Amino acid sequence: METISIVGGGIAGLALASCLEPGRFEVTVYEKRPELPAVGTVLAMWPNAQRALARMGILGQARAVSPVLGSGSIRNAAGKPWITVNGGELIGMSRVDLLRLLDSAVPATVRRVTTQVQELPAGQGLVVGADGVHSIVRRQVWGAAADATVTSCLALRGTIPAPVDPEAVGEYWGRGDLFGIAASPGGTNWYASWRSGLGPTGIDVEQALEQARQRFAGHAPAIRHVLAAAVPELSLAQRIWTTPPLRSYVRGAAVLVGDAAHAMTPNLGRGACESLVDAVTLADLLNSLPQERALAAYNRQRRLRTRALSRASAVMMRVALAERAQPLRDRLLDLARRRDERAAAGNGAGR
């Protein structure tokens, strides 16, 4: 039996543990908080993530508890749509539901240890850093130069029990801020971001909500309605942290997955998805190849892909939160909207 120690029992860690062959590996998951989180913010499950859930045998259960997100618009601060995007079969899944299903997929042979890891597990086996943006595995193996970097942007998100208004769904881009509204299981999911002096840690959620209500007071009525209904018990507030680009996700007998490897800004909604894909990819390679070859293949398949997504997400954040360039951004998006309207009118006249 080969030994694998997974540090972190979140999305990436549980997904990996669920896919490793029990007859080949002796797996231990170390997690400091084994209980499910109390706040179930919603994660977009893109097709690649849904394929990973299918690999784990839980896609049907995931779809059963997750609404299809459908179409949504990028809008100006007043709510006027610029661009409408069809999300197809994209689903919005509660983080609580996702962790619950991942936990249920982990074989009973996997050993669970409740502890906050300060030193890497001893032994000759593989150590997997699945411990998030502030990964102790990344710090101890890759060094302090690989520490996470805090941005100036606050991420505030939550749910309200009121049903989502289909006419309000989308992302609203103002001057230096954005606000998103989407469906959630049993209500409405919302999120907001702007440059804030709160934090970087220990942010009071009520204070963040009050700051948001002031910040978005002149925005679309749909935003003000959501924030009026938001409560701290169903909201989360944290500064956005990212990891520096690593030359490799593998070093010796250590490998990184999920946010420990590539924590990115949330603007593309791909962080949780890529964590799932990391886990399934690594597990399938370890199940079928010798460890050294499996790790090399994992690094080839995942590093450049996730790095490209990290860069694209950072660019999207700069565009969405533009301040001095906001008037130019809005004019360009207005031009794109009018061009699309003329094209649609022309197509209708030609039929």
- 141-149: average pLDDT: 96
Instruction: Locate the DSSP E strands across 35-129.
Output: 42-45, 71-76, 81-86, 91-94, 111-114, 126-129
- 230-256: average pLDDT: 96
Q: What is the pLDDT of residues 43-82, one digit of tens each?
A: 999 999 999 999 999 999 999 999 999 889 999 999 999 9
> Please, are residues 301 and 282 in contact by the beta-carbon 8 Å criterion?
no
CA distances from 287 to 23, 113, 283 (A): 10, 23, 6
Point out the least confidently predicted range of 85-89, 148-152, 161-165, 234-238: 85-89
**pLDDT for the residue 85:** 87
Q: Which DSSP string corresponds to 113-168?
A: EE---SSPPPSSSEEEE-S-TT-HHHHHHH-GGG--EEEEEEEEEEEESSPP-GGG
CB atoms within 10 A of CB 96: 17
Give phi and psi for 21, each to the nearest 5: -70, 120
Tell how far CA 290 is from the center of its chain.
Answer: 31
Point out the least confidently predicted range of 38-42, 199-203, 337-341: 38-42
**pLDDT for the residue 37:** 81
Name the residue type at position 81: P
Q: What is the pLDDT of residues 110-134, one digit of tens each?
A: 999 999 999 898 777 999 999 999 9
Q: H or E segment at 20?
A: none
> Please, are residues 211 and 198 in contact by the beta-carbon 8 Å criterion?
yes
Q: What is the pLDDT of residues 215-226, one digit of tens each?
A: 999 999 999 999
Bridge-partner residues for 29, per DSSP? 6, 112
Bridge-partner residues for 171, per DSSP? 74, 180
Express as a percent the part of the chain with pLDDT over 70. Answer: 99
Joined tokens for residue 339 = 């061009």
CB atoms within 10 A of CB 333: 19
- 27-45: average pLDDT: 87
Q: What is the pLDDT of residues 152-206, one digit of tens each?
A: 999 999 999 999 999 999 999 999 999 999 999 989 999 999 999 999 999 999 9
Residue whose C-alpha is closest to residue 4's, from 283, 218, 339:
283
Joined tokens for residue 114 = 């409740």
